[in-house]
């Protein structure tokens, strides 16, 4: 059965969800979601250290969605993909544990590389992650998105946790890609 974004989104929303968004993504939405995160965590009187970590992960994941919402530039825009095709959720698990879930459609051709890259990074020890981060930071290359391949490794380094992911088949050209980052 084909993937249905709305069903997936509703399934991920539960009593732990502090904030959820499904829609388009532009700078405006990125700003709005970041403001909402600040509000919701301040109201919970969460520790500043924890708020900063969540906020940092949120910045990286939201900007990742913003830069890689690449289907909008496809020449043969796939009309089956819903217009509101980006999802972002923040959940409070317990104590100071939080979870950020993101989702977006990607081209099927990108999945293998992405999966291999995350698997490799998840496999590394904390020290290896740190060394690799420094190596990538110091290489001269800049991707046209600006980050030069630091995004995912930054999330792992910052949270000290492996990154969870899922790929859902949508159609022959597109996959729905979901990331789960525990903080």
Partner 1 sequence: MESIKIEKTRKTPDVIFNAETGVIQIEGKSIPENSIEFYKPLVDWLDEYGKNPKEKTEVNIKLEYFNTSSSKCILDVFKKLETIHKENENVIINWHYEEDDEDMLEAGEDYQSILKIPFNMIEMEE
Interface positions with partner 1 (CB under 8 A):
27, 30-31, 48-49, 52-53, 55-56, 59-60, 63, 66-67, 130, 133-134, 137-138, 142, 145-148, 150-151, 154, 158
Helices (H), the chain: 5-12, 27-43, 48-68, 111-123, 126-137, 151-159
- CB-side exposure of 56: number of CA atoms within 13 Å? 16
Closest contact distance (angstroms) between CB of 131 and partner 1 is: 9
Which residue, 27 or 70, has its beta carbon nearer to partner 1?
27
CA 181 – CA 164 distance, rounded (Å): 6
Nearest alpha carbon to residue 37 among 24, 22, 52, 15: 52
Structure tokens at 179: 């990331």
* Min dist. Cβ of residue 134 to partner 1 (A): 5
Q: For partner 1, which is the closer residue by CB, 112 or 130?
A: 130
Closest approach of partner 1 to the CB of residue 72, in Å = 15
CB of 50 to partner 1, least distance (A): 10
- For partner 1, the closer of residues 58 and 175 by Cβ is 58
Least distance from partner 1 to the Cβ atom of residue 46, Å:
13
Q: How many helices (H) and strands (E) does the chain have?
A: 6, 5
Question: With respect to partner 1, which residue has the nearer C-beta, 124 or 150?
Answer: 150
106 vs 69: CA distance, rounded Å: 7
Contact between 143 and 136 under an 8 Å Cβ cutoff? The reply is no
Q: Of 155 and 175, which has the nearer Cβ to partner 1?
A: 155
């Amino acid at each position: 059965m084909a993937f249905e974004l709305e069903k997936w989104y509703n399934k991920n929303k539960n009593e732990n969800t502090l904030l959820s968004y499904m829609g388009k993504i532009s700078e405006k939405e990125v700003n709005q979601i970041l403001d909402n995160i600040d509000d919701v965590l301040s109201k919970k009187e969460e520790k500043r250290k924890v708020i900063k970590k969540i906020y940092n992960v949120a910045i990286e994941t939201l900007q990742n969605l913003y830069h890689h919402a690449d289907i909008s530039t496809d020449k043969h825009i796939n009309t089956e993909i819903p217009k509101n095709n980006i999802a972002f959720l923040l959940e409070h698990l317990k104590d100071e544990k939080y979870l950020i879930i993101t989702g977006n459609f990607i081209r099927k051709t990108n999945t293998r590389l992405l999966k291999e890259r995350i698997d490799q990074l998840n496999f590394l020890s904390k020290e290896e992650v740190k060394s690799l981060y420094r190596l990538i930071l110091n290489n001269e290359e800049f991707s046209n998105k600006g980050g030069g391949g630091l995004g995912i490794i930054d999330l792992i380094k910052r949270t000290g946790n492996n990154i969870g992911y899922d790929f859902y088949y949508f159609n022959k050209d597109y996959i729905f890609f979901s990331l789960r980052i525990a903080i």
